[in-house]
Amino acid sequence: MNSIRKNIVIIEPSDIVNEGLLNMIRSFPSVGNVLRHDTPEDLISGANKRKTDAVLINPFFIKRDIRHFSKLKRESGIGLWIGILYSFYDRETLATLDGVIQISDSQEIISSTVEKLLNNTANNSLLPSENLTERETEVLQQLVAGLSNKEIADKLNISIHTVISHRKNIVQKTGIRSQSGLVIYAISNHIITLDATTL
């Protein structure tokens, strides 16, 4: 049974909420170790090299810089992010999460939400990934900023040939070829943010 138990990290600034949640989710059948981190950055820093399966996070840490958070999320390689909600958050912030629990939810509801999400990820992880690699994401960022192949190659210190090959992969994985289509893709996937006033 132990092998399918998931390691969870809680990132929540309030001690009361954190302690309550910690005690509650430790009793859930799919939950293994539960750790507390002070910030999302702790997930990728060397001192915390444990395998983490899911993160329960206060969206406050996301909202302050969504782009930064999305990058961190990709780098961490963690497949499941659940929001801990006790105040209002905009849709863009919540869209970065796979699910949410409300602080007003009963233990039953929190248990069934978390269990369902934990077990879903297990199935999904068997499917082939269409996610862009870190390098492809970087190329896409430069591409939607309007840089040419040569400029991207210089900036990322790779050959033009490699840039072209990344671009092919991007088109193949996303199904989007045009510049304006890729901009929309990049926004929807939080790879870039665009100021509404610049439109």
The amino acid at residue 162 is T
User: CB 20 → other proteins: shortest distance, Å?
Assistant: 29
- 15-23, 29-37, 39-47, 182-190 -> range binding other proteins (CB under 8 A): 182-190
183 binds other proteins (CB under 8 A): yes
Of 100 and 176, the one with the shorter C-beta distance to other proteins is 176
SS3 of 102, please? Answer: strand
Q: Considering all CA atoms of the chain, what is the largest pairwise distance in Å, rounded to the nearest integer?
A: 56
User: CB 188 → other proteins: shortest distance, Å?
Assistant: 4
- 2-10, 110-118, 135-143, 168-176 -> range binding other proteins (CB under 8 A): 168-176
Of 120 and 174, the one with the shorter C-beta distance to other proteins is 174
Torsional class of 10: left (φ above 0), alpha (ψ -120 to 50), beta (otherwise): beta
User: CB 89 → other proteins: shortest distance, Å?
Assistant: 14
99 binds other proteins (CB under 8 A): no
Q: How far apart are CA 47 and CA 34, in angstroms?
A: 16
CA angle at 85 for the pair 84 and 86, rounded to the nearest 5°: 130
Q: How far apart are CA 97 and CA 74, in angstroms?
A: 12
Q: Report whether 182 contacts 143 (CB < 8 A).
A: yes
Q: Report whether 144 contacts 192 (CB < 8 A).
A: yes
Q: Which of 38, 92, 134, 154 binds other proteins (CB under 8 A)?
A: 92
Count of residues binding other proteins (CB under 8 A)? 19
User: CB 170 → other proteins: shortest distance, Å?
Assistant: 13
Residues of the shown chain interacting with other proteins in the complex, contacts defined by CB under 8 A: 91-92, 95, 174-178, 180-181, 183-185, 187-189, 194, 196, 199
